[in-house]
Amino acid sequence: MPLTFSTAGDKALPLHVIEPDGLEGWLAAATATEATWVRASGFSGAMGETLLVSDGNGAPKMALAGYGSAASRRRGRFALAAAAVALPDGDYRLDQVPSGFAAEEEALGWLLAGYVFDRYRVQKHPTARLVAPQGTDAPRLEAIAAGEALTRDLINTPASDMGPEELEAAARELARAQGATIEVISGETLLDRNFPMIHAVGRASPRAPRLIDMRWGSAGPKLTLVGKGVCFDTGGLDIKPSASMGLMKKDMGGAATVLGLAQMIMTLGLPVQLRVLVPAVENAVAGNAFRPQDILTARNGLTVEINNTDAEGRLVLADALVYGAEEAPDLMLSMATLTGAARVAVGPDLAPFYTDDEAVAAAIARGAADVADPVWRMPFHEPYEAMIEPGIADLDNAPKGGFAGSITAALFLRRFAGAGVRYTHFDIYGWQPAAAPARPKGGVGQGARAVLAALPEVLGL
């Protein structure tokens, strides 16, 4: 199923979306033949149910899709997507929907339900195509779906085929397609250009570390997106146990998400000066790996004591944030699969975010509700600042004790975001642990749609 809407128009098969509580009313208005057919089929309106109704001559006259109860929809989102993957090949247009039907959300969910990661194995693709519902912004929804597909593809690709060089190649292809410019600083040149922590984290891998710097747009507010691009994380010398290393191909999920968001922004032509910074590294184990209790000096001169080499994402982000802040953007935002503590706090489905700016926080929260992209604001709790100050250096990359791990990581990053810069940080998971409507198991974008929805308000577009 392509991530675009059908152009069949009125030739498409009418689709009736029915709640369980609305089924009897629908049957009462149907013809006797239709009602008998639907009753005999056992169709109940439960989420994900589908049924083709015959015209009496063996051809389909309409299709029914179960929308589920209000209670079942509150426990998830993209309810229509559950039916989209069950409908047979064909073009469909919404003909009858329940009161309060969220057309934009459900249309996007239908598009996202068409995503399949088939790089390594032939997979069955859903083939039901939807005509864009009246009143929806079809080009915008298609741009969002395409950006989300890019994010999912990048996260799902294993590290054997998605190292720093391949992540750079993906960024270059995006830049080429969108008319953006790109600069990449790699290997020992990172030291020459004063990115010492990106170099330190990535130097043990034979796959050279690098900083990807993509720019697009020449007018409007300056928006800088920074994404953690740790293409695989062994934990370094503080090596992870195998159970914790199993999903580390997704540790570049922040980079994947900002690249997907950037694609949305550029495709939609938002009037901004966009900059995307991705420190791309592999945190490997070798004789030249950085060590526990090493002290590194960041781009801005702050010293950092390494108390856990597995807390490397904040180190590479720190140099990139300093670099981004040097141009005083109107808004700088980082995304990273940064801490397990965030998952313990809110689980895999919510994207925690941090900001000191009340207007930004409110806009993101409203955007998240509008586009079914759940987020949760967390505090930059200043009394915890002392926890990231070890005494021997300016900062500690991994405070002992295990308390407030996501908050202390966010506080650490804020030290590098620059005075006076509006800064927001997302600590995402980037992974769907079990299949759900419009979200197959695997890589997933989080927070990007909420940010996209908030940008016009935040930046005055």
What is the C-alpha to C-alpha distance for residues 141 and 67, in angstroms, rounded to an integer?
21
CA 196 to chain centre: 28
Please tell me which residue in 129, 222, 299, 314 is annotated as part of the active site: 314
88 to 53, 93, 188, 382: CA distances (angstroms): 13, 14, 55, 55
Q: Is 441 a catalytic residue?
A: no
Please tell me which residue in 61, 172, 215, 240 is annotated as part of the active site: 240
By DSSP bridging, strand 442-443 and strand 431-432 are antiparallel
What is the C-alpha to C-alpha distance for residues 205 and 123, in angstroms, rounded to an integer?
33
φ and ψ at residue 57, rounded to 5 degrees: -115, 15
Q: Does the CA dihedral 389-234-201-170 come out positive or negative?
A: negative
CB–CB of 243/122 below 8 Å? no
CB–CB of 131/137 below 8 Å? no
What is the C-alpha to C-alpha distance for residues 366 and 153, in angstroms, rounded to an integer?
28
CA 397 to chain centre: 25
Burial label for 200, CB within 10 Å (0-12, 13-18, 19+), is buried
Q: Is 240 a catalytic residue?
A: yes
CB–CB of 410/423 below 8 Å? no
Residues noted as catalytic = 240, 314
